[in-house]
Amino acid sequence: MSVPALRTPPRRVLMGPGPSEISPRVLAALSAPTVGHLDPFFLDVMNETQTMLRDLFRTQNQLTLAVSGTGSAGMETCVVNLIEPGDRMLVCVNGVFGSRMADVAGRAQAIVSTIERPFGEVFSPDEIAAAVKQLNPKVVGIVHAETSTGARQPLEEISRIVHDAGALLLVDCVTSLGGIPVEIDGWQIDAAYSGTQKCLSCPPGLAPVTFSPRALELIQNRKSKIQSWYLDMKMVANYWSDKSRAYHHTAPINMNYALHEALRIVLADGLETRWVRHRRNHLLLCSGLEAMGVEYAVAEEYRLPMLNAVKIPAGVDDKAVRAQLLNEFGIEIGGGLGPMAGKTWRIGLMGETSTERNVLMFLAALEACLVKQGASVRPGSGVAAAIAAAGA
Amino acid sequence: MSVPALRTPPRRVLMGPGPSEISPRVLAALSAPTVGHLDPFFLDVMNETQTMLRDLFRTQNQLTLAVSGTGSAGMETCVVNLIEPGDRMLVCVNGVFGSRMADVAGRAQAIVSTIERPFGEVFSPDEIAAAVKQLNPKVVGIVHAETSTGARQPLEEISRIVHDAGALLLVDCVTSLGGIPVEIDGWQIDAAYSGTQKCLSCPPGLAPVTFSPRALELIQNRKSKIQSWYLDMKMVANYWSDKSRAYHHTAPINMNYALHEALRIVLADGLETRWVRHRRNHLLLCSGLEAMGVEYAVAEEYRLPMLNAVKIPAGVDDKAVRAQLLNEFGIEIGGGLGPMAGKTWRIGLMGETSTERNVLMFLAALEACLVKQGASVRPGSGVAAAIAAAGA
């Protein structure tokens, strides 16, 4: 039995749909000595992490913690804890992650109804109102920031509609949290999940979740057992509770160190500062791409600053460009997902990735790639437009 | 909103039921720069990890990979992929983790039957044969190394019985893998799961799993959807397959770096060498504890070398001793779980923790604690016995 050699990763600039660039501070925290999952030190880390997650989600929700899995485990956690077999759930699908939520809900034995919008578009309050009226669901699930399309779904009015109908609102905040406003209490969101590897700039591996008192009450009064033992919030919450600390599973200790440090960075920056920075760098990228004739796949009003979905210019080879970016420049961007495959690129400006330096570097590298592809791009035009926008 | 201070963990010696001591090499790998989950570099890491996991499990099973959650997520993965609603499953319960498997199976809508043995004991082939004959289950679940009791369950004969009855054998190898023989192909185990934080000496966060061709066929021919999207092996296997690489979820990149490096260490040592080392250090500990009058909670034949469950001597304060070990000596051991709470300590000698140095240090520290408790222990007696045993 032969043992492979030590693997040393190449140095990438992560400008795809996540993971994003990680601060050396977070990597250092990740590799701090492991302690036990009931060590007093670790319990302090958990307490502080919960407090910081509440600040991040802008909520007072007691049940706020990091699930021991990636963002999709966070999605599954929210669904399987809220849904009992036979419950009606309405899922709004305008991208891959809405589809995924409907799939997860079906597996949880919900009676799932979906309403759909084409990839890249968002739902109007009227559409939601009509569907809620018709279906009378227990839970309405919707994606705040569709990572597959780059579209931002406004939520405030939808939340009123959902609550007026007596339903609970479940929101996917994987890509939005930390990059644009997410107001769990302000918008009265009942359950939300995110991931660590987007605007929090922590490696993937944990899923921050939060549940409103109303959602918690519903979970505590369930008639049936939660179908997942691993994601059972009644038990997981007991481990995260300073009062009980009942052993549930061995938490991913070092990943929690990393999240603690990533949250410290985010909150020390200040959420508002980060929202402004994400927006500013998005607008610089936008100016540059526009000058190069590269169009966005989403209407201006609904564009996500941290996930820029753009149309691949006619005649340009999707895979060749992404390979050149990766191999020559060490820059990762994402391809399209689902019906957008081969048609769009997804350029991430999430967390630590969202810097003016990265925008300029990316525009210059993309220009080089497009010139190689024979596209009608004047080298330097995108960079010049971004520099002008930055000075404006 | 105030931001907490940087948290720097204390330096513990992890001699509990896991996590175990982590090599600096593994911590360094953990903090290597993050790359994307579809980066060619990461795909190579995945391929090599699969190959090493097959060597570790002693199997040719194609479907062998690391689930993106801790050991309990590995348990749930095995159960929910094999079980369809209404399937009969027999679970052998002689500790906390057997109980957990029965709970997980019930949530997967299995018709669950259990047979039980007191904590610390193991099942005889005859008992299994009788239960299998009576119940005709589709799957039989059993724990190889009960982390809650320190008992090793022999599996070879049981495997024959289970297969003769046409059932599949599902085995919990969380604590055994890498520390005592686990022969997936040799013993014809159909599905097995483990964790990274025991004898592999990697931080917690991933769950190695393996499925036999027979188990894989059963999964592929299911009539119902797998109830967990996150743990759906049909989809996860497509991401781990060199042929498809279909995006499923964003893998915990850095945790996979760490596992890759931990496996390199284990396999370069050699499995047989590690088994011998685990056994040798266990026997040294045994000699020392015996000389101090501390008794094991498990019959000699079935003791696990990596998880030593011992009876707390009469009149000794469980929590005071564990607190003194932790606070004065920086040594973590485990308390008892379930009916063993307050009655046993669990002393881990797993992976990197299993050294003669740690055994001697622990015996000396425990002597100090027992003396403080007023127990009738001659200081130095345990250490002397261990030194004598090491020289014998």
CATH number reported for the structural domain that contains residue A285 in this entry: 3.90.1150.10
A contacts of B222 (beta carbons < 8 Å): none
A contacts of B252 (beta carbons < 8 Å): 70, 203-205, 252, 255
A contacts of B39 (beta carbons < 8 Å): 10, 12, 326, 332
Q: Is the pLDDT of residue A124 over 80?
A: yes
Instruction: Give the pLDDT mean for A98-127.
Output: 98
Nearest CA in chain A to B197: A250
Residues A91 and A226 in one domain: yes
Prior bond of B118 cis (ω within 30°): no
User: Which of the listed residues B202, B235, B268 is the one where a domain comes to its end?
Assistant: B268
Output the CA–CA distances (angstroms, integers) from residue A277 to A179, A355, B16, in the order listed. Answer: 9, 8, 45
Structure tokens at B199: 């004898």
Interchain contact, A34 vs B22, CB within 8 Å: yes
Q: Report d(CA A79, CA A170) in Å as an integer.
A: 8
Q: Is residue A377 part of a domain?
A: yes
Q: The pTM is what?
A: 0.98
Nearest CA in chain A to B226: A107
Which residues of chain B from 97 to 156 reach within 8 Å of chain A, CB to CB?
100, 103-104, 106-108
User: Among residues of chain A, what percentage have pLDDT more than 70?
Assistant: 100
User: Which of the listed residues B239, B268, B297 is the one where a domain comes to its end?
Assistant: B268
Residues B224 and B315 in one domain: no
Structure tokens at A140: 């309405």
Interchain contact, A264 vs B31, CB within 8 Å: no
Q: Angle formed by the axes of helices A40-57 and A253-269, to 10°?
A: 40
Residues B383 and B239 in one domain: no
Q: Is the pLDDT of residue A1 over 70?
A: no
Output the CA–CA distances (angstroms, integers) from residue A206 to A41, A64, A255, B315, in the order listed. Answer: 19, 13, 7, 43
Interchain contact, A229 vs B107, CB within 8 Å: yes
Closest CA to B296 of B309, B284, B280: B309
Q: Is residue B168 part of a domain?
A: yes
pLDDT at A2: 87
For residue A30, give the nearest of B48, B104, B254 by CB distance: B254
Q: Is residue B264 part of a domain?
A: yes
A contacts of B107 (beta carbons < 8 Å): 225-229
pLDDT at A392: 83
Residues B288 and B264 in one domain: no
Q: Is residue B350 part of a domain?
A: yes
Kindly give the confidence (pLDDT) of every residue in chain B, 392 residues in length, as a single tens digit, with 9 standing for 90 and above: 689 999 999 999 999 999 999 999 999 999 999 999 999 999 999 999 999 999 999 999 999 999 999 999 999 999 999 999 999 999 999 999 999 999 999 999 999 999 999 999 999 999 999 999 999 999 999 999 999 999 999 999 999 999 999 999 999 999 999 999 999 999 999 999 999 999 999 999 999 999 999 999 999 999 999 999 999 999 999 999 988 899 999 999 999 999 999 999 999 999 999 999 999 999 999 999 999 999 999 999 999 999 999 999 999 999 999 999 999 999 999 999 999 999 999 999 999 999 999 999 999 999 999 999 999 999 999 999 999 999 98
Residues B72 and B159 in one domain: yes
How many C-beta atoms surround the C-beta of residue B5 within 10 A? 7
Prior bond of A19 cis (ω within 30°): yes
pLDDT at B4: 97
Tell whether A10 is within 8 A of chain B (Cβ): yes
- Kindly provide the ipTM of the predicted complex, given to two decimals: 0.98
Q: Is the pLDDT of residue A148 over 90?
A: yes
Encode pLDDT of A208-237 as tens digits: 999 999 999 999 999 999 999 999 999 999
Residues A199 and A139 in one domain: yes
Tell whether A268 is within 8 A of chain B (Cβ): yes
Contacts of B270 (CB under 8 A, 6+ apart): none
Mean pLDDT of chain A: 97
What amino acid occupies position B276? V
Q: Is residue A210 part of a domain?
A: yes
Q: Is residue B14 part of a domain?
A: no
Tell whether A169 is within 8 A of chain B (Cβ): no
Task: Provide the sign of the torsion angle of the four alpha carbons A45, A50, A56, A60, taken in this order.
Answer: negative
Interchain contact, A4 vs B255, CB within 8 Å: no
A264 Cα to chain B: minimum distance (Å): 6
Contacts of B287 (CB under 8 A, 6+ apart): B385, B386, B388, B389
Residues B112 and B157 in one domain: yes
For residue A104, give the nearest of B229, B248, B260 by CB distance: B229
Cβ contact A353:A20 at 8 Å: yes
Task: Provide the sign of the torsion angle of the four alpha carbons A30, A32, A38, A43, taken in this order.
Answer: negative
Contacts of A316 (CB under 8 A, 6+ apart): A370, A373, A375
How many A-B residue pairs are in contact by the CB < 8 A criterion? 245
User: Which of the listed residues A268, A286, A311 is the one where a domain comes to its end?
Assistant: A268
A388 Cα to chain B: minimum distance (Å): 32
Q: Report d(CA A77, CA B367) in Å as an integer.
A: 46
Q: Is residue A386 part of a domain?
A: yes
Residues A177 and A52 in one domain: yes
Residues B259 and B277 in one domain: no
pLDDT at B388: 97
Tell whether A16 is within 8 A of chain B (Cβ): yes
Encode pLDDT of A274-332 as tens digits: 999 999 999 999 999 999 999 999 999 999 999 999 999 999 999 999 999 999 999 99
Tell whether A76 is within 8 A of chain B (Cβ): yes
What does the CA dihedral A232, A238, A241, A242 come to, rounded to 10 degrees? -160
Encode pLDDT of B58-94 as tens digits: 999 999 999 999 999 999 999 999 999 999 999 999 9
Residues A337 and A227 in one domain: no
Q: Is residue A93 part of a domain?
A: yes
Return the bridge partners of A392, or none: none
Residues B208 and B341 in one domain: no
Provide the CATH number for the domain around residue A31: 3.40.640.10
**DSSP-derived 3-state class of residue B211:** strand
Structural domain containing residue A299 = 271-391
What's the domain count of chain A?
Answer: 2
Rg of chain A on CA atoms, in Å: 21
Residues B32 and B174 in one domain: yes
B contacts of A39 (beta carbons < 8 Å): 10, 12, 326, 332
**DSSP-derived 3-state class of residue A153:** coil
- Residue position matching structure tokens 């994601």: A231
Tell whether A4 is within 8 A of chain B (Cβ): yes
Interchain contact, B48 vs A4, CB within 8 Å: yes
Closest CA to B106 of A230, A83, A227: A227
